[in-house]
Amino acid sequence: MAIEVRDVTFSYDGQPIVEDVNVTVPLLDLAAIVGPNGGGKTTLLKLMMGLLQPNTGEVRVFGQPPRAVAPRIGYVAQGFSYDRTMPITVLDVALMGRLGRARGRAAGEGKHSAVDALERVGMRDLADQPFAECSAGQQQRVLIARALVTEPDLLMLDEPTSALDVTAEREIYQLLSELNDHTTIVLVTHDLGFVSGVVKSVLCVNRFVRRHPTTEMGELTSEILEDLYGSDLRLVRHDRNEGTWCCRD
Amino acid sequence: MTEFLRAVAEHGFLQYALIAGVLASIACGVVGSYVAARRITYIAGGIAHSVLGGLGAARYLQVTQGWEWLHPLFGAVIAALLSALIIGMVSLRWRESEDTAISAIWAIGMAAGVLFIARTPGYAENLMSYLFGNILMVTPTSLWLMATLDLLVVALGLLFYKQLVAISFDEEFARMRGINVEAFYLLLLCMTALTVVLLVTVVGLVLVIALLTLPIAIAGHFSRSLRQVMAISAALIAVLTVAGLGVSYNADLPAGATIIVLTGALYLVVIGAASLRSSLRRSRAASATVESGSSR
């Protein structure tokens, strides 16, 4: 198992955010965490990485406490967790992925892997540009590149495509799909429809958490949406590619 | 200007003042860049004002107990480090109480300083030089102390560049990469405290905050990395300090205040020019769109 979450409860200011969470993410899974705003998606992701400590229960990543395996986890935070105004180049942001490694001859190698990662997200040409002058979408790609530079066994992404247009979004999911051959991936998203083609399981979070492997279900069903939003919703099917589920209240 | 240069060649106190100014500039450029990036300017302000308590206490003991070795700068170093650690601990444990802690340290430090100075026999002229600086009073002893602090702060700032940049840019990511975020945050606060002490000698504790922020903001307009901000702002502060000294010597004005006014004026010019340039660029871009639209 890549991630095991056992009996985890986490509350903030006495307010439970997630409760009685029992969920596992198998190795080489590509799991999407979905749910309504304020439902605890980011909280669950941070609990899995050890950035938040559960009030009760425990989390294991690769069989160990998450902090012990932190170097094996690549993390792409949601847009607003970093300083957007700091003078720093795109390449230097990507190079941060080399932090915590042994020094020495690694320096040149590090630059090579950073340039490589920027290439994969289509940002190589802008390597010397100030990060602050990049568009929100470009910044997000750079942050993904930075996570790739860490050469993670587990990649955690918090709404990685929220600032991207449709084409860029598809490219990122294509990239994630390729990485998934040797990397377990967990991502928070609110656009379930778009990821439905590539994800292997869906973690529904609305204070409680349920996992739905997409292979068993064949396709995403209204069951998931009921989990998330209760029964008082209407399903709308968009005919974009194979079909996309949306929900409205 | 030639008159000032001749005076520098003649008077030791002017030479000491220039050396002190340049020493403080280097630390100020390096640490000020981190202070701006990590957004702890208000903390720096709090530490700066609390330093009066340490200066006052050390001076009081020096005079009343006859402890000649207790240079007020030692008191300043202790007060600054203590304030930095208290504020740092509070902000790490109880984030929401950070502002209260800073305000308390800020005001209590000053109050303690005023009380000590009131009880110190002799003239209270020290108070003014603590508040607004008296770079012309720098002695060889304090110069050595300043050089030591400067070397320490700059060495730490350059040695831990990657880590300090990482915690300033994105704390969570730094944590995931195994960086001890809390320890480096406290280290940065202590470096800020020592830099504040250096600057207090030059411009006084009330004016410290201007040198710690304005040159950094100016340098930010011309930089692509924090390293460049450090180099440019340090050079800028050195030039401003020397120029301020020259002007104040010629016009017989207080040096600290002159340096700050020069810094403020340069800041306004640069910011004004930058916003003018960007609005010009925007209107040019707008008219270009209109043209290309009409030609179609």
Mean pLDDT of B261-284: 90
Write out the two tokens for B107: 């005001």
Nearest to A86 among B37, B162, B173 (CB): B37
- Position A216 scores a pLDDT of 57
- Answer yes or no: do B176 and A75 touch at CB < 8 A: yes
- Answer yes or no: do B176 and A130 touch at CB < 8 A: no
pLDDT in tens, B161-198: 999 999 999 988 998 888 999 999 999 999 999 999 99
Nearest to A87 among B174, B176, B224 (CB): B224
Minimal CA separation from A126 to chain B, in Å = 13
HSE-CB of A54 using CA atoms within 13 angstroms: 23
Mean per-residue pLDDT pooled into runs of 10, chain A (249 residues): 92 87 92 85 92 94 92 85 84 90 62 91 91 87 91 91 81 87 90 70 82 63 60 42 35
Nearest to B176 among A49, A87, A128 (CB): A49
Q: What is the DSSP letter of A175?
A: H
Q: Which residues in chain B have their CB less than 8 angstroms from residue A107's CB?
A: none
Nearest to A88 among B163, B177, B226 (CB): B226
Counted domains in chain B = 1
The single residue listed with the structure tokens 């979070």 is: A205
More confidently predicted of A85 and B13 = B13
A100: contact with B, CB 8 A cutoff: yes
Interface test with B, best of A48, A53, A72, A99 (most B CBs within 10 A): A99
pLDDT in tens, B16-36: 999 999 999 999 999 999 999
Asked if the interface predicted TM-score (ipTM) of this complex is over 0.90, the answer is: no
Q: Which residues in chain B have their CB less than 8 angstroms from residue A77's CB?
A: 170, 172-173
Q: Which of A52, A138, B266 is nearest to A21 (CA)?
A: A52
More confidently predicted of B148 and A198 = B148
- Residue B225 belongs to a domain with what CATH number? 1.10.3470.10
- Position B293 scores a pLDDT of 52
* Residue-range definition of the domain harbouring residue B16: 2-295
Residue B1 in this model has a pLDDT that exceeds 80:
no
Handedness of CA A152, A157, A163, A168 (dihedral sign): positive
The contacts of residue A29 (CB under 8 Å, 6+ apart) are A2, A184, A185, A186, A200, A201
Nearest to B162 among A89, A99, A146 (CB): A99
pTM for this one?
0.85
Residue B240 in this model has a pLDDT that exceeds 70:
yes
- Answer yes or no: do A100 and B168 touch at CB < 8 A: no
By a Cβ cutoff of 8 Å, what residues of chain B touch chain A? Answer: 37, 39, 162-163, 165-166, 168-179, 220, 223-226, 228-229
- Position A85 scores a pLDDT of 81
- Answer yes or no: do A81 and B172 touch at CB < 8 A: yes
DSSP chain B: -HHHHHHHHH-HHHHHHHHHHHHHHHHHHHHHHHHHHHT-HHHHHHHHHHHHHHHHHHHHHHHHS--TT--HHHHHHHHHHHHHHHHHHHHHH-GGGHHHHHHHHHHHHHHHHHHHHHHSSS-THHHHHHHH--GGG--HHHHHHHHHHHHHHHHHHHHTHHHHHHHHH-HHHHHHTT--HHHHHHHHHHHHHHHHHHHHHHH-TTTHHHHHHHHHHHHHTT-SSHHHHHHHHHHHHHHHHHHHHHHHHHHT--HHHHHHHHHHHHHHHHHHHHHHHHHHHHHHHHHHHHHHHHH-
- Position B253 scores a pLDDT of 92
- Position B96 scores a pLDDT of 83
The percent of residues above 90 in pLDDT, for chain B, comes to 66
Contact present, B50 and B176 (Cβ < 8 Å): no
- Answer yes or no: do A82 and B170 touch at CB < 8 A: yes
pLDDT band (50, 70, 90) for residue B226: very high
Minimal CA separation from B56 to chain A, in Å = 38
A13: contact with B, CB 8 A cutoff: no
- Answer yes or no: do A88 and B177 touch at CB < 8 A: no
Residue of B nearest to A147 (CA): B173
Mean pLDDT of B51-61: 93
- Answer yes or no: do A146 and B174 touch at CB < 8 A: no
- Position A242 scores a pLDDT of 36
Instruction: Give the bridge partners for A209, in sequence order.
Output: A205
- Position B126 scores a pLDDT of 73
Nearest to B178 among A71, A87, A146 (CB): A71
Nearest to A83 among B162, B169, B223 (CB): B169
Neighbour count for residue B275 (Cβ, 10 Å): 10
Q: Which of B163, B144, B134 is nearest to B257 (CA)?
A: B134
End-to-end CA distance of chain A: 36
- Position A226 scores a pLDDT of 61
Residue of A nearest to B223 (CA): A87
Minimal CA separation from B221 to chain A, in Å = 9
Q: Which residues in chain B have their CB less than 8 angstroms from residue A70's CB?
A: 175-178
Contact present, B52 and B113 (Cβ < 8 Å): yes
The contacts of residue B220 (CB under 8 Å, 6+ apart) are A87, B36, B229
More confidently predicted of B280 and B154 = B154
Mean pLDDT of B76-98: 93
- Position B133 scores a pLDDT of 85
Mean pLDDT of chain B: 90
